[in-house]
Amino acid sequence: MAETFTFGGTLTPITCHAWNKERNQIAISPNNNEIHIYKRNNNEWKIVDILNQHDLRVMGIDWAENTNRIVSCAADRNAYVWKQGEDGKWKPTLVLLRINRAATCVKWSPAENKFAVGSGARLISVCYFESENDWWVSKHIKKPIRSTITTLDWHPNNILLAAGSTDYKVRIFSAYIKDIEEQPSPTPWGNRMPLGNLMAEFKNSSTYGGGWINDVRFSSDGNKICWVSHDSCINVADAASSNTIIRCKTEFLPFLACEWISLTSIIVAGHSCVPLVYTLQGEKLVLSNKLDKSQKKESGGISAMRIFQSLDRNLRTENSDTLVDSIHQNAITCIRLYAGDKLNSSRVSTSGIDGQLVIWDIDSNINSLMQALKM
């Protein structure tokens, strides 16, 4: 079962979205310099605030569930922390990122006492609140980054930080801030953790070629890391097995987002417009579920690929060539957990270029793949 929503009566692309703790409010970026806050009432969404402090397109949003703060970053090289006032309106506080290129992604740490911002300046800004001056400051992680940071995720211990970039590499750094944190405990990824220390590095290349990293996520126990790249591969590295990489080359178009929904299952989505669940079975990743029941088995391959080929060869624009046999009608750019956590999630939300937000029920779709294969 899936719930489908659009906002503002238009199909404006949604760059990214984030939920509050109760899941009755959502922050979305409608592919411009604004952040729209909507509140849900049954099946209707009412806009309650528009955050318009940024000058250029918003690239990332994250909502801290416990402290109820929103952090945003944009192509204007700025980040803001938003706090809700007594009047219900959100007030911004500028963050001193000290970067000279666009900010591309942002993520709160699990303890919500700091956050990380990736950028085109080939560095990561780890930001924390300096109470003496009453502002947010940052410390930089630079080496050995040589390209734009496209995605970030925090380890459950609040110290380690995973980063994917356009140089085809995934790296795990220590983001330990001694001014606000106690000495970290050892982890399977390593024991030495001063700020910026490189704990692990994975090159996304194989006999299939390679591709820049689109998304990266730690598992709930922090011992595994998964990432999706622009070569249509899904990758999992396990620190408990000497950083062994399990790589799955798929037949689908490149994935743009991924998330753990259990210790062994990962949900991925991207240019094929359909969320897919892959499960670890020994040393393999196996496709175990398709969440979109509207998809049917087609002998000619995936419909999205055929549409792109048709448009390229014949320059057709009829409806038959532009409608995709799925709920999402364009690439899915963002996946968020809606019910549960990385250890056991029963519902997820996706948003994309088609301007739709879809909430998927994972439990009710367990047998959907087998049903689809029989059709």
| Inter-residue contact 164 to 178 (CB < 8 Å) | no
Instruction: Give pTM, 2 decimals.
Output: 0.89
The H-or-E segment that residue 225 falls in is strand 224-229
What are the tens digits of pLDDT across the range 240-275?
999 999 999 999 999 999 999 999 999 999 999 999
Q: How confident is the model at residue 106 (pLDDT cuts 50, 70, 90)?
A: very high
Q: What is the average pLDDT value for the chain, to the nearest integer?
A: 89
Residue 144 preceded by cis peptide, ω within 30: yes
Instruction: Retrieve residue 14's tokens.
Output: 């949604």
Q: Is the dihedral of CA 236, 238, 239, 245 positive or negative?
A: negative
| Inter-residue contact 150 to 212 (CB < 8 Å) | yes
| Inter-residue contact 124 to 115 (CB < 8 Å) | no
Question: In 3-state terms, the chain is what percent helix, strand and coil (to 5)?
Answer: 10, 50, 45
Q: Which of 235, 267, 244 is nearest to 344 (CA)?
A: 267
- Give the pLDDT of residue 324: 79
Degrees to nearest 5, angle at CA 15 with 264 and 64: 65
Mean pLDDT within 287-314: 62
What are the tens digits of pLDDT across the range 128-185?
999 888 889 999 999 999 999 999 999 999 999 999 999 999 999 999 999 899 999 9
Amino acid at 19: W
Lowest mean pLDDT among 54-63, 147-156, 209-218, 228-237: 209-218
**Which CATH number is correct for 2-313+320-373, 1.10.3860.10, 3.30.1370.10, 2.130.10.10, 2.30.42.10?**
2.130.10.10
Q: Is the pLDDT of residue 349 over 90?
A: yes
| Inter-residue contact 233 to 204 (CB < 8 Å) | yes
Mean pLDDT within 326-348: 96
Q: How confident is the model at residue 203 (pLDDT cuts 50, 70, 90)?
A: very high
- Give the pLDDT of residue 294: 74
Mean pLDDT within 114-140: 95
| Inter-residue contact 80 to 53 (CB < 8 Å) | yes
3-state SS, residue 51: strand
